[in-house]
Structure 1
Amino acid sequence: MQTLPITHVLPKVKEKLIHHNRLVLQAPPGAGKTTALPLALLDEPWLEGKQIIMLEPRRLAVRSSAARMAELLGEKVGQRVGYQIKMESVQSKATKILIVTEGILTRKLQNDPALESVALIIFDEFHERSLHADLSLALALESQSVLREDMKILVMSATLNTAAISTLLDNAPVIESQGRAFPVERIYLDAGTPQPTLKTLPSYIHKLLLKLLAEEEGNILVFLPGVRQIKAVEKLLNESRIKNTYVSTLYGNLSKEAQDRAIKAPPKGTGKVVLSTNIAQTSLTIEGIKIVIDSGLQNVSVFNPFSGMNKLESKFISKDAAIQRAGRAGRLSAGKAYHLWHKSRILQKHDTPEILSADLSQLVLELAQWGNDDINALSWMDTPPITAIHHARTLLKQLGALDSNGHITSHGEAMGSYGLHPRLAHMMLKAKEMDLSYEASLLAVLVSEKDIYSSAYTSADLRERVITLHDVAQKANVSSKYVDIKQCRYLLENARRIEKNQTSTLHTEQLGILLAFAYPDRIAQLRHRNKGTYLLSNGKGAYLHSDDTLFNSPYLAISDLDAKSTNATIYKAIALSLADIETYLGTETQERVTWNEEEARVEVRKVERFGKLTLKETQLKSTDSPEVLEVLLDEIEALGLNILHWNKEAKKFRERVNFLHLHDESFPDFSDENLLDTMDKWLAPYLQNVTTLKACRNLNLYNILLGLLSYEELQKLNHLVPAKHKVASGSQINIDYSDPQQPVLAVRLQELFGTHDTPAVLGGKVKLMLHLLSPASRPMQVTRDLKSFWENTYDEVKKELRGKYKKHYWPDDPLEAKATSKTKKNM
């Protein structure tokens, strides 16, 4: 085996692993840790009869490192060195080193928490902090603490916060290895050169590549944020017809053959340009790279727990990532790294761990299956955000994976066995009940992998894609103008691993409901015809382009849309029927009571709902719902008591009661404020089966209020606050209590002749304000002191009255005169 930088620390690693079951190794890119270290441990005594499992964050790194180790042993992959990734396994009984993606280790731990056949777990490239790496480390640490004290855990990375990880591992020893790196000249944008945007990036890199290919020697590795930019640069290079240069691309969804071509050296006599995502940042060795062009960007899927959606964002890389990318140019000789940003730009030191920004529904299901749903009971580098945990639990309960207490159900256990996202696992289980497992397997791969249609194809319809995939499976003639046939074959291989029974017949009628099983929170209802706007069952808004084949579909099940705060754009969906929603998803029927402002009435409607969607609404005649009364009372309260019909009798009765209450707080209170506050007691009993304001106005409010007073209270009211006062003429005159501070008696002057003192109420405590009227009932004088009026003012008033009302009797001495309401003729 060739001598690598890691070779110098291997004895120390071996020695530490004999005496410690937890270890941290920091080794820069090119040190050889990924391939040399596991091989060096094959003969260790603690490994006898057991395996080493090594985790790699990417499938390509798993395959390439397995191939390299097998080559160094002079064996084929699958003998002492094997690998296992999602839906692909190359291993045998002889396998001692098994390289896996992180999700595979999680499955192994769930199936066998003690991992009896495993001696050592190696977490490679842990600095990438993928969600599954954090989860599988947390589970492995608990397994080691509770079940397997002898099992060893080694965490290693090129750039790692070793102090933090050592603390997490109970102050595990830390070993540092030096790398073998040649000097790399780091070149930044000139201060006067604007930084390329996502739109201008392909053309900028194309021009730079043409310049470097003409002036420099050696292979070039270009880091781009995503596949779209890779294809744009590839197209520009192909149009330039560069001689003696082999252009290859490298990203996750490429076929194994295409990925291998990107890694291997180009044909002799030719140069090589590799256009890659950050998949080439670690673990992989691409032969002969001397120049790196780093866009400084990477595409990151960011989960928004408030919208429940993922959004792909182009973000700037961290300082650690920039160092690693540049280091690719210094593996074999001195190199150059072109950083397409200004040197003054401040980069974040480390990448944000996926656990802080990802959808955590699968993590929460794994923990529930593990039997420990207390997030804080496990060891985490970063504790998962509570909002994302809450969203995940809500979704899993909706899928039936967790019960109301958050414990895993038998359905959830079955979902976990699929190794798929909980949404898709739930869909597969429901499809099995409907004998649609084949169709569901095609849907599962279509929503979880790269699209089979090119970006030029604008339809969001997944049903079309399922049909196309089936046609490729049946070797039917499929146009490759918009369809990636290779991707179709790749997806069909994955579908066969999910569901072995791939049939020759396809049932498309219920594809919509299958997708709805996976995304019950993304059932969409058309809001406005010909506008493409939808309301989702989770309450969010969505938008579909007018040229889409699904445009104006009444209902959609959506698998893919962005996380815009207003209307998210729909990318992948299937039309479904209202009947399917009602039959398979289980709707909620409730009575909705609302106020019809136009007709001034309460309406009762039977509403069928699914989530935030109103599917059907029917008006009911029934008014026995308690909510009817609540809505009616609320409306009366909002409009005020004057909306009711207060006749003169009811009004005057209220005024008398309120006058007495003002002077005796123990007496009932009929003020607006109190009556509004107590409508449920005095008014509600008379509103049974009443739904309109018109009917409310027919109520006899005098009788209703009268019934609120006891016999004793009524007697007290009539005694202390009489409705009328009998004056000297014998007439019964109404007392006006509208001003509770000062009641008024409006009476014609001649009817008070012979009356010495001002009339009073409340047992003589409150004198009435006298409005003294002419025979024509016109005000002549206002007084609260009748005696003073007779003595001081009457003579003047008498003169005026004698002139105007000659037929009436106006005596010189009113106190000795007889009171009358008649003229002289009738006296």
Structure 2
Amino acid sequence: MTQLPIHDALDPLISALRTTSRAVLQAPPGAGKTTVVPLAMLDAGLTNGRILMLEPRRLAARAAAERMAQTLGEIAGQTVGYRVRGESKTSKSTRIEVVTEGILTRMIQSDPELSGIGAVIFDEFHERSLNADFGLALCLEICDALRDDLILLAMSATLDAEPVAALMGNAPMITSEGRAYPVETRWLDKPLPKNTRLEEATARQITQAVNETEGGVLVFLPGEGEIRRTQSLLKLPSNCTVHPLFGAMPFKEQQAAIRPAKQGRKVVLATSIAETSLTIQDVRVVIDAGRARRARFDPGSGMSRLVTERVTRAEATQRQGRAGRVAEGICYRLWTKGEEGALLPFPPAEIEAADLTGLALELALWGAAPTDLALLTQPNPGSFSEAQSVLHMLGALDGDNRITAHGKSLTKLPLHPRLAHMLATAGPQAARMAALLAARDPLTRSAPVDLSLRIEALTDLKSFTDRRPYAVNRAALHSIRDEAKRLRKSAKGSDPIPRSPAELAALAYPDRIGLHRKGDDPRFVLSGGKGTVLNDEDPLASTRLIVVTDTDGNPREARIRQAVQITEGQIRDLFGDQITWQDNCHWSKRERRVIARRQEMLGAIALDDRIWKDAPDDAIAQAMLHGVRDLGITLSPAAQRFVARVKLIRTAGHELPDMTPDALLSTIDDWLLPHLSGVKTADHWKKFDLLDALRTRLDWNQMQLVDKLAPAHFTTPLDRKIPIDYSGENPEIILRLQELFGQTTHPLVGNTPLRVTLLSPGQKPVQTTMDIPGFWASSYADVRKDMRGRYPKHPWPEDPTQADPTLRAKRRKH
């Protein structure tokens, strides 16, 4: 056997597993841990049971099993076998079984003792997949409660090992130093311009690398789209063969990318599928475009979306290691050495960013809350609560979050709980739809969103391509058909009612039944309350009712990527028991008025909408309160004076309600509601005088106190009441100068002198004073001289203190 770096770590690893039954192994990319360690454990006789090794991807599981079998001079299925979804190669003689991570969960849920299993290896644990985290937590609980002999080993190349070792009961940490072969890293001299397309930069780097190096080239790109576009830009020598490599490809095409080139050089354009547990033969050169695609779940929208982000340092290390698997290598990075310091150390654990519906269902089946298990990272409470809400909607959980009989049946199906619910409810007729919705879109993004087109292509591809101008991913269709056959066998029973594609989609997505919003824009409100938008030119843009099966997950307004038209009759047939009449009175910001409607609702969508003619006054008033919060409070002059009086008395230390604008707005439910009768619109509110409502905030004693200490009016010598304005530094009155004739003392409020503004007969200010007697004795003479000429018909006595107050002009002389 070829000596690999991992061989130096085998003795301490085997010793640790003999002593503690647990360990964490760190080994750099290319060290050989995936294919050497399981065989070494088998050879050491650590257990009489089977050794189960988990891999994050089907391709890696097959490749690892076949490589170990080859080492033993066998074929897969003898001493070493594998099990992945849809395929199994094992036998009675199998001692090492390589499986994808989700299979371990199914094994434990059906047999908590893991009968016949002696050891579980979590390979590439640094990827922190949801299934691996959950599987390890379950295994740790099994060890504590049922199987203290079960051996657990976590292996990784780029793992923050200490937290994992602590989680596993302070398990020993074993480290393998050094790669199989050294790798030279080459960075860019300067950052890529911001407007540079990733595919163009990558294609240039591939051309340069082919000219500068020898051997196979492995290129890391975020997704199939970038792979296809980069491939179309390449102009390489005739001796170079280009192979795409991504998860949705048929296995035979994946194997072609892995196998050594028969002649010339091989260039593999791959996603992160090639990062770990996979040796691609002949590769000497790695080109890292520096991007990774991850699923992000938004609990606010209840939807997942794929985002493209910078790679982390751990991912970059994994990718770099691919160049040193079989010989000395070179790694080109499409970023500068200076930019490397800004990279995050590790990618987020899947439990932090993924849809947790499946995890919530598995936990319910296990009978535990997340905090009951030794999870390395606890799920986000909001995301977990959203997942439980989906399961309640599907009937998989009861009111106490316990799994129902229906929920148990969903766990037996290899699907997301939504699709499992559809299959369990509708029976085998839903198998094709479940396979289609679980897979990547078989049509290109330029095709309309209509799910019926995908059904057409699946049903009769030749007829579809003859009639439709849309490109079809034939390999994806083939994979969907195969999966549909497997799911049809898994489905139990049969729904006697034939269901249309739209009805089946609605069973899986009852919260995504979309109703076209009023107006011309192709916007839809979903039964779950979210908003979505469709391209204007899409044929479904004017459809009244649709079921949305895929979006881009934008939390503000998700763009529809796949949907199907549904009729109201089909909705009523499926969800008639959930449709209810609701009386709805609400404030419309757009229309600036209270709208009263009677609506027949399915979740957040109104199948029927009528005017609520006899809406009660209290319902309208409650809705108008929201309008007041929207419009704000505006006080009439009289109300402003009242508020100023109250403020003055509060400032003096008396207990009175706070009538500042913020205080008034925050307490409108308490004092304004009884006074809003008849107020329904912004115009009504604009004309509404708040004075009476504000006065009711004071009891009788408080009102008496205000009237005494800050009276509303000053009574003039003509017995006329003039409002007093308390909003300034001093209380103020404004009145005609002639109305104060005969006034020999200055007007007061309590002991506070009023600020008096005296007006001319033309209502223009002529004097402001705090001393009326002083004004008569001094400034009045100048005012009289000026005013007599302007207003000769009005009295201007030489001694105003001896004149009678008046608002009239002089009598005419006959």
Bucket of the pairwise TM-score, normalised by the shorter protein: 0.7 to 0.9
Structure 2 partner of 1:105: 104
* 8 A contact 1:533–1:542 mirrored in 2: yes
Name the counterpart of 1:299: 292
Larger Rg computed on CA atoms: 1
Where do 1:58-97 residues align within 5 Å? 58-97=57-96
How many angstroms apart in 1 are the aligned matches of 2:189 and 2:672?
79
Partner residue in 1 for 2:256:
261
Q: 1:738 to 1:578 in 2, by over 3 A?
A: farther
**In the aligned structure 1, how far is the partner of 2:656 from the partner of 2:186?**
86
Distance in 2 (alpha carbons) for counterparts of 1:558 and 1:135: 30
Cα distance, 1:340 vs structure 2:
3.4
Residues 504, 261 of structure 1: alpha-carbon distance in 2 compared, 3 angstrom cutoff:
farther
User: In structure 1, what is the Cα distance between the partners aligned to 2:45 and 2:686?
Assistant: 92
Partner of 1:328: 325
Distance 2:437 2:607 in 1: 27
In structure 2, runs of 5+ residues without a counterpart are 750-755, 759-770, 777-814
Paired with 2:660 and 2:246, the residues of 1 have a C-alpha distance of 74
The residue type paired with residue 293 of structure 1 is: V
1:770-781 → structure 2 map (5 Å cutoff):
none
Q: Deviations over 1:577-628 (max 9, x none)?
A: 3444455353453422447999x98552113445554554311122336322
Alpha-carbon contact 1:532-1:551 (below 8 Å) kept: yes
What does residue 347 of structure 2 align with? Answer: 352
Q: CA deviation at 1:53?
A: 0.9
Alpha-carbon distance in structure 1 between the residues aligned to 2:22 and 2:34: 18
2:277 counterpart residue number: 283
Contact 1:61 1:284 in 2 (8 A): yes
Displacement, 1:111? Answer: 1.9
Change over 3 Å in CA distance of 1:63–1:625 after alignment to 2: farther
1:157 maps to 156
Instruction: Summarize deviations over 1:490-537 as a string: whole Å, max 9, x none.
Output: 111112222228999999973234323433444444346654344445
Find the aligned partners of 1:505 and 1:365 in 2 and give their Cα distance: 24
- Give the conservation status (yes or no) of the 8 Å contact 1:329–1:337: no
Matched residue type, 1:242: S
Shift of the alpha carbon at 1:336? 3.1
Structure 2 SS opposite 1:311: strand
CA RMSD of aligned residues (A): 6.1
Say which SS state the counterpart of residue 248 (structure 1) adopts.
strand
| Deviation by residue 1:142-164 (Cα, 9 ceiling, x = unmatched) | 22122211111011123333333
Q: 1:240 to 1:439 in 2, by over 3 A?
A: farther
Tell me: CA distance 1:167–1:628, structure 2 relative to 1, closer, same or farther (3 Å). Answer: same
Q: 2:441 aligns with which of 451, 456, 463?
A: 451
Alignment-derived partner of residue 469 in structure 1: 458
Q: In structure 2, what is the Cα distance between the partners aligned to 1:680 and 1:159?
A: 58
Corresponding residue of 1:22: 22
Distance 1:696 1:7, change over 3 A: closer
In the TM superposition, what is the alpha-carbon distance from 1:55 to its structure 2 partner? 0.2
Farther-moved stretch of structure 1 (59-68 vs 463-472): 463-472
The one-letter amino acid paired with 2:133 is D
* Alignment pair present for 1:186 and 2:184: yes
State how far apart, in whole Å, the 2-side matches of 1:601 and 1:232 are: 52
Deviation of the 1:464 alpha carbon: 1.2
Aligned to 2:198: 198
| Correspondences of 1:385-784 after superposition (within 5 Å) | 385-429=380-424, 432=425, 436-453=426-443, 455=444, 457-471=446-460, 482-500=471-489, 510-527=500-517, 531-537=521-527, 540-564=530-554, 566-585=556-575, 586-587=578-579, 589-594=582-587, 603-624=595-616, 626-631=618-623
Q: Give yes or no for contact 1:452–1:484 (8 Å, CA) kept in 2.
A: yes
Structure 1 unaligned blocks of 5 or more: 647-653, 763-768, 772-783, 790-827
| Aligned amino acid, residue 599 of structure 2 | V
Whole-angstrom distance in 2 between the partners of 1:5 and 1:680: 74
Superposed CA deviations along residues 740-762 of structure 1, whole A, max 9, x for unmatched, are 9999999x99xx9xxxx99x9x9
Q: Distance in 2 between matches of 1:184 and 1:680?
A: 73
Summarize the Cα distance change of 1:679–1:373 in structure 2 as closer, same or farther, 3 Å threshold: closer
Match of 1:315 among 291, 310, 313: 310
Q: Which amino acid aligns with 1:229?
A: E
CA distance in 1, matches of 2:574, 2:520: 28
Kept in 2, the 8 Å contact 1:596–1:603? The answer is no
Identity over aligned residues, as a percent? 33
SS of aligned partner of 1:571: strand
Alpha carbons 2:191, 2:336 under 8 Å: kept: no
Equivalent in the alignment of 1:776: none
Cα pair 2:9 2:176 within 8 Å, conserved: yes
Q: In structure 2, how many angstroms separate the alpha carbons of the residues matched to 1:186 and 1:203?
A: 20
Structure 1 460/209 Cα, relative in aligned 2: closer, same or farther at 3 Å? farther
8 Å Cα contact 1:320/1:350 also seen in 2: no
Query: Structure 1, residues 142-190: CA drift from partner, whole Å, max 9, x if none?
Result: 2212221111101112333333322222221222335562x44525245
Could you say which residue in structure 1 is the equivalent of 2:796? none
C-alpha separation in 1, matches of 2:293 and 2:451: 24
Residue 566 of structure 1, CA deviation: 4.7
Contact 1:226 1:298 in 2 (8 A): no
CA contact 1:463–1:511 (8 Å) conserved in 2: yes
Q: In structure 2, do the counterparts of structure 1 residues 374 and 8 end up closer, same or farther at CA, with 3 Å as the change threshold?
A: closer
Q: What is the SS of the residue equivalent to 2:460?
A: helix
Judged with a 3 Å threshold, the aligned counterparts in structure 2 of structure 1 residues 390 and 597 are, in CA distance, closer, same or farther, namely closer
- Give 3-state SS (helix, strand or coil) of 1:312's partner: strand
Query: Number of residues paired by the alignment?
Result: 777
Q: Secondary structure of the residue that 1:618 maps to in structure 2?
A: strand
Displacement of 1:68:
2.4
Aligned twin of 2:334: 341
CA 1:735/1:179 → structure 2, altered by over 3 Å: closer, same or farther? Answer: closer
1:172 is aligned to 2:165: no
* Distance change >3 Å, CA 522–CA 690, structure 1 → 2: closer
TM, length-normalised to structure 2 = 0.75
